Amino acid sequence: MTKLLALARITFYEGIRNKSVFGVILFSLFIFGLNVAVAGFFMRDIDKVTIDMNLSALSFAGLLLIFFIVINLMAKDIDKKTVHVVLAKPISRVQYVWGKYLGVVLFIAVSLATLFLISCLTVLLVKGLYSDYFEEFSWTVFFVAAIFVFVKNAVLSAVVILFSTITSNSFITLIFSVSVFIVGTTIEEVLFFLKSALSVQEVAISQTLRTVIEFVSYLVPNLAAFDYKTAAAHGLMPTLKEMGFSIGYGIVYIAVLLFFSSILFCRREFN
């Protein structure tokens, strides 16, 4: 466990020292500031627009951190042969994979927590300017939605780790990870459309295509399960059953991904 935490700490510091972090933070600050500037143009939906923009900015910042920083953390070890030095120490390949993941998750958690605090200041400012429009707003629901933004990013980080154990090419890892994100975000809507009577009337879809899509839905994480922006915008608290299912689904999916990542990394040969 000590070796695992040591590797996680090193990975965390590597992520924090990356200069791209400041670019992501500046971009998020721009979105938060833009929210304050344009909030007044939305009249009755000021509260909903404010919450949606803040959570969207938080989510997008997490994606940028994963796709431009996390992907390179493991690829850099392999490209620069640092992995040989690490594995030469009394640390197994399984510990390396889990240690890297824990460090990545810690890095994402600290980064998102910092941005969330800034986001709260933005909401407070807009709420102070337009207090009459925030009657339905709930800090608790806003916090819950932000927590699930982190859970979604934790799942995506596990996806990145999986692809990083398959290839050391960061661009290929990026393409695969972005593809999983796009499919995972839209797969629930696609399945809903396929099962609706409207799809039968408007579009002729072969049974083979339906089977393929349903099969893909079991492989790719359903990222819509972690999206509570709409609930937060309307001040609606998700039920314990919904939140429990989302957290359980995320934990199981992460565990499965890391399990296969460990197997693949143990069988991988390095030059």
Look-up: residue for tokens 């309307």? Answer: 234
How far is residue 258 from each of residues 91, 109, 197, measured CA to CA in Å?
17, 18, 39
Residue 202 has a pLDDT of: 56
pLDDT of 80 reads: 65
Q: In a 10 Å sphere around its CB, with 0-12 CB exposed, 13-18 middle and 19+ buried, how is residue 40 labelled?
A: exposed
pTM to 2 decimal places: 0.88
Q: Cα dihedral sign for 231, 185, 30, 170?
A: positive
Instruction: For residues 88 and 31, give the distance between their C-alpha atoms in angstroms, rounded to a whole number.
Output: 45
Task: Give the C-alpha separation, 146 to 227, whole Å.
Answer: 9
Cβ-based neighbours of 44, under 8 Å, separated by 6 or more: 133
Find the length of the chain. Answer: 271
Per-residue pLDDT of the chain (271 residues; tens, 9 = 90+): 777 788 888 888 888 888 888 888 888 888 888 877 777 676 677 888 888 888 999 999 999 999 988 888 877 776 666 666 666 677 787 888 888 899 999 999 999 999 999 999 988 888 887 777 777 788 899 999 999 999 999 999 999 999 988 887 888 888 999 999 998 888 877 777 776 755 555 555 667 777 777 777 788 888 888 989 888 888 888 889 999 999 999 999 999 999 999 898 887 776 6
Residue 103 tokens read as 């460090």
CA distance 197 to 201: 7
Two tokens at 230? 């709409």
**Listed residue (178, 168, 268, 185) closest to 229, CA to CA:** 185
d(CA 116, CA 141): 13
The CA-atom distances, in angstroms, between 186 and each of 189, 208, 213, 218 are 6, 20, 11, 13
* 184 closest CA partner among 221, 152, 211, 153: 221
The per-residue pLDDT for 156 is: 94
Question: In the prediction, which pLDDT does 191 show?
Answer: 74
> CA-CA distance, 182 to 113, in Å (whole number)?
24
Question: Residue 87: what pLDDT?
Answer: 63
